[in-house]
Amino acid sequence: MKLSGSLATANNDIAALESDIEALQSDLEMTEMHLLLLHTVNDFNTANLALSNGDISGAKVALLSVPKRIEALLPLIETVDAPLAKNLENRFKMIQDNLETDPQTAQFDLGLLAKSLLNVETLLFAP
């Protein structure tokens, strides 16, 4: 009897630990998404700064990783700002198209997108 009681306790402990692992995994995934979001905002700000210094090449380099990040972030963004999620890729494409032809518009749009993503961050991750 004592052995079966110990086994039941161990099984309960395992179930509790598995539940803890699932919760921690979820927290880790959200933290990774938060970092991805912040890296994207940083890339927008870096490109914006490069454009303010007339450095179109620097802006392009700063934005190289953004398409993959946007793709990864879209499902999360959609949970709090569906219109932004729907238009984010197109808006970013317009920025890329304007880098050389209309850098001032690209710079302005980068600022708007950075602000939009910071609003998303507040909605998702504010304490």
Write the pLDDT tens digit of every residue in 26-36: 999 999 999 99
Residue 39 lies inside a defined structural domain of this protein: yes
User: The domain containing residue 76 runs over which residues?
Assistant: 30-125
* Phi and psi, residue 81, nearest 5°: -150, 80
- What are the pLDDT digits (tens) for 35-78? 999 999 999 999 999 999 999 999 999 999 999 999 999 999 99
Asked if the structure places residue 44 within a domain, the reply is: yes
Looking at the domain assignment, is residue 102 inside a domain?
yes
52 domain residue, yes or no: yes
Q: Which stretch of DSSP H or E encloses residue 49?
A: helix 2-52
18 assigned to some structural domain = no
* 24 domain-assigned: no
Over residues 2-14, the pLDDT tens digits come to: 778 788 888 888 9
pLDDT of residue 7: 86
Q: Across the chain, how many H-helices and E-strands are there?
A: 5, 0
What's the chain's Rg over C-alpha atoms? 22
Total domain count, the chain? 1
Question: What's the CA gap between 33 and 52, in Å, rounded?
Answer: 29
How is residue 119 written in tokens? Answer: 């609003």
- 6 occurs within a structural domain: no
pLDDT for 1 equals 66
pTM for this structure? Answer: 0.85
